[in-house]
C-alpha cells in the first residue's frame, strides 16, 4: 500500500477501506475495487446502513412468519 494512504478499516480475508492523499476513499472487497469521493463514500455508508436496518427488519418479519406457519401446521 502506498505511504500516502490511510487505512480506515481492514477485515482480514474480506476487504479494506483506505483514504488516499487526494481525498478519495477506496473500498477493496475481494477482487472488487470501488473508488469514491468523500461525499460519495458518506452517501454510500448511509445507504448501506439503511439497507442493513431494513434487512434486519425484514429478516425478523420473515422469521416470525415462518414461526406462524409452523404453529398453524402443528
Question: Quick one: pLDDT band at residue 4, thresholds 50, 70, 90?
Answer: confident
Pair 32, 48 in one domain? no
Half-sphere exposure of 10 (CA within 13 A, CB side): 7
pLDDT of 60 reads: 84
Whether pLDDT at 7 is above 80: yes
Please write the tens of the pLDDT for every residue from 29-53.
999 999 999 999 999 999 999 999 9
Domains held by the chain: number: 2
Q: What CA–CA distance (Å, rounded) separates 28 from 10? A: 9
Handedness of CA 36, 40, 46, 47 (dihedral sign): negative
Pair 43, 30 in one domain? no
Pair 32, 47 in one domain? no
Which helix or strand (DSSP H or E) is residue 59 part of? helix 38-73
Range of the domain at 28: 1-36
Amino acid at each position: 500500500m502506498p505511504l500516502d494512504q490511510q487505512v480506515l478499516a481492514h477485515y482480514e480475508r474480506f476487504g479494506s477501506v483506505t483514504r488516499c492523499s487526494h481525498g478519495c476513499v477506496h473500498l477493496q472487497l475481494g477482487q472488487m475495487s470501488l473508488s469514491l469521493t468523500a461525499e460519495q463514500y458518506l452517501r454510500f455508508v448511509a445507504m448501506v446502513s439503511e439497507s442493513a436496518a431494513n434487512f434486519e427488519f425484514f429478516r425478523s418479519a420473515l422469521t416470525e412468519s415462518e414461526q406462524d406457519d409452523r404453529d398453524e401446521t402443528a
